[in-house]
């Protein structure tokens, strides 16, 4: 069981599944949304995700051109879940919202062509210049 929440705690979630994938996205949208160099995302099956509390959504085309809908807390603005058109059976959880992040070990970097020059990309992950093919 994984649990997490927004910064103020009014929006929380639980997941009853192992992550299908943990990846780091370096696309410009993730950089702008996170306010930093990348987003570390935990992919989990839709049917295992439960959210409690009020949320708002914001949808934009992702780096692949497919829509990405971010669910966020209307009080503090923290994004707690993303729905990505490229992974319609998954919910993407920003890893920083998890209560326990001890298991986080990304296996993939995507949109490396947009990565900040000062961010080292490890060679023990799959690294894709754009979206994975």
| Domains: count for the chain | 1
In a domain, 55, yes or no: yes
Structural domain of 78? 2-114
For residue 30, which phi and psi values (nearest 5 degrees)?
-65, -35
In a domain, 93, yes or no: yes
Q: What is the pLDDT of residue 65?
A: 84
In a domain, 123, yes or no: no
In a domain, 132, yes or no: no
Q: What is the pLDDT of residue 115?
A: 96
In a domain, 94, yes or no: yes
In a domain, 119, yes or no: no
Q: For 55-106, write each residue's pLDDT tens digit.
A: 999 999 887 788 999 999 999 999 999 999 889 999 999 999 999 999 999 9
CATH number, domain containing residue 102: 2.170.150.70
Buried-state track 102-118, b at ≥16 Cβ within 10 A, e below 16: eeeebebbbbbebbeee
Three-state DSSP state, 80: strand
Q: What integer is the mean pLDDT of 108-125?
A: 93
In a domain, 122, yes or no: no
């Amino acid at each position: 069981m994984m649990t997490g929440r927004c910064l103020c705690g009014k929006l929380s979630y639980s997941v009853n599944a192992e992550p299908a994938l943990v990846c780091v996205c370096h696309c410009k949208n993730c950089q702008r949304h996170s306010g930093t160099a990348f987003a570390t995302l935990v992919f989990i099956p839709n049917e295992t995700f439960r959210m409690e509390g009020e949320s708002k959504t914001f949808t934009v085309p992702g780096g692949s051109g497919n829509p990405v809908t971010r669910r966020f807390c209307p009080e503090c603005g923290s994004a707690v879940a993303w729905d990505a058109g490229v992974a319609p059976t998954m919910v993407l959880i920003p890893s920083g919202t998890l209560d326990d992040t001890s298991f986080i070990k990304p296996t993939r970097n995507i949109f490396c062509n947009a990565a900040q020059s000062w961010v080292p990309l490890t060679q023990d992950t799959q690294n894709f210049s754009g979206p994975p093919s």
